[in-house]
């Protein structure tokens, strides 16, 4: 039997790693490549392969059997080349989360119409086979919630801030070692994690929401003082993406959250990702592993290629495209205990003013801690840390604004949810 012929669009870290990984395969062979620059120095020799200046032309070419898109971006040539391959009835494998999150519904319909496979395991959590688990292993179950730590850049930076580094210093270090892009907005702003959550939602619930439907907060609102105060309570700060299905709809949230040190979401300081799904009747399932890097991502791409080589197709999002939607009624999600940190003027009646403001929002206080501020510029101020009884997560932004507007509060009041401990 002849080998399946692979065309690779995009020869960055992942594309080069994929070519190395597929060398010597008995079932597939790379025959064509395309990238921005043919003459750029790369860790692999591309001279044995047909070169295409235009990846769209390569996607349409009859000289290859599977098109692999590793160029990135939600639109432009990445979208055009994937559409061209699917229009030709050619299977597509991609690692492009932005493309799938933005145009997944239309691409799923096109793939179904043309009888072509579209696989994207590498688009979420790199080396963690969560797409396969949701599409195949958990397909017979009723998934009610899914949450995870999905961004290695934020995971690394928050761990550095736990050591006392400022946000800016942590970001600079992440960029120095290659964990963060020169423009880190997609990562630190929560957009990267939100795109991944949208894809997981399509598989779990049949809903591929736009980012406008999500409550997204990045880690750029966090301070070293927030993280230190949480640590004093035995809580670790993570960027958590969460989708929860309730009777009245689905709640989508991405933002800083505090978890106990014994929680599986506390997965260390590097590029590790973890996804936890609640499924009836199975219970709670967790998958973790390397979420980024050339080797991990290329391995996920290769796994999809092998799946196609074995003749496995099936719906793009575990159900017919006609059953998918981009909209679902918004739900409020679970109530959460809240963590509040505020720098306030030291004087009589200050705590009463804070608790009165919380009472007006119908939020009950559980604990209060206070300590003098050590910063010279904050002489005469104290740091107050409050934990509350469960309250609607949707109130967080408004509550921070309300507390920040109190005359006794010097800086923006920090308010973050505390996630319950996950049972082993």
Binding annotation: 97, 181
Instruction: Indicate the burial class of 412 (C-beta count within 10 angstroms; 0-12, 13-18, 19 or more).
Output: middle
The DSSP symbol for 3 reads: P
- Report the distance separating Cα 236 and Cα 226, nearest Å: 10
Residues 6+ positions from 371 with CB-CB distance below 8 Å: 382, 383
- Report the distance separating Cα 85 and Cα 92, nearest Å: 7
List beta partners, residue 66.
6
The DSSP symbol for 179 reads: S
Q: Provide the angle, in degrees to the nearest 10, between the axes of the packed helices 152-162 and 224-232.
A: 70
Residues forming the active site: 196
Instruction: Pull the structure tokens for residue 82.
Output: 């994937």
52-60 long-range Cβ contacts below 8 angstroms, 24+ apart: 52/7, 55/9, 55/10, 55/81, 56/80, 56/81, 56/84, 58/7, 58/9, 58/32, 58/34, 59/7, 59/9, 59/84, 59/85, 59/88, 59/90, 60/84, 60/85, 60/87, 60/88
Q: How many CB atoms lie within 10 A of CB 354?
A: 22
Q: What are phi and psi of 201, to 5 degrees?
A: -65, -40
- Cite the annotated binding site for NADPH by residue number: 97
> ω into residue 281 within 30 of 0, thus cis?
yes
Place of tokens 């035995």: 234
Q: What are phi and psi of 330, to 5 degrees?
A: -80, 135
């Amino acid at each position: 039997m002849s080998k399946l012929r692979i065309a690779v669009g995009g020869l960055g870290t992942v594309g080069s790693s994929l070519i190395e990984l597929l060398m010597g395969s008995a079932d597939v062979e790379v025959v064509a490549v395309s990238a921005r620059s043919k003459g750029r120095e790369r860790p692999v020799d591309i001279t044995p392969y047909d070169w295409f200046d235009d990846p769209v032309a390569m996607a349409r070419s009859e000289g290859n059997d599977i098109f692999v898109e590793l160029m990135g971006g939600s639109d432009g040539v990445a979208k055009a080349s994937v559409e061209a391959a699917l229009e030709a009835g050619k299977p597509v494998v991609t690692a492009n989360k932005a493309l799938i999150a933005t145009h997944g519904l239309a691409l799923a319909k096109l793939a179904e119409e043309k009888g072509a496979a579209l696989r994207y395991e590498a688009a979420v959590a790199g080396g963690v086979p969560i797409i396969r688990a949701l599409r195949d292993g958990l397909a017979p179950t009723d998934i009610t919630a899914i949450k995870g730590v999905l961004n290695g850049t934020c995971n690394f930076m928050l761990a550095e801030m736990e050591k006392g580094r400022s946000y800016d210093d942590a970001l600079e270090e992440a960029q120095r070692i290659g964990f963060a892009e020169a423009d880190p907005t997609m990562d630190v702003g929560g957009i990267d994690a939100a795109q991944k959550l949208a894809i997981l939602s399509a598989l779990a619930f049949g809903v591929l929401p736009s980012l406008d439907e999500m409550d997204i907060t990045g880690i750029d609102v966090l301070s070293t003082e927030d993280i230190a105060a949480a640590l004093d309570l035995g809580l670790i700060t993570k960027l958590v993406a969460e989708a929860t299905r309730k009777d009245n709809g689905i709640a989508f949230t991405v933002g800083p959250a505090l978890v106990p040190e014994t929680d599986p979401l506390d997965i260390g300081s590097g590029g590790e990702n973890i996804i936890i799904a609640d499924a009836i009747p199975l219970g709670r399932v967790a998958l973790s592993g390397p979420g980024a890097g050339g080797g991990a991502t290329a391995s996920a791409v290769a796994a999809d290629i092998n799946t196609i080589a074995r003749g496995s197709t099936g719906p793009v999002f575990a159900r017919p495209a006609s059953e998918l939607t981009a909209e679902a009624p918004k739900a409020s999600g679970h109530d959460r205990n809240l963590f509040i940190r505020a720098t306030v003027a030291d004087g009589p009646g200050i705590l009463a003013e804070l608790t009165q403001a919380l009472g007006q929002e119908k939020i009950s206080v559980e604990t209060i801690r206070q300590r003098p501020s050590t910063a010279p510029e904050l002489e005469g101020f104290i740091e107050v840390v409050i934990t509350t009884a469960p309250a609607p997560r949707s109130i967080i932004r408004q509550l921070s604004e309300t507390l920040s507007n109190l005359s006794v509060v010097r800086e923006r009041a920090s308010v973050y949810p505390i996630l319950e401990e996950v049972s082993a």
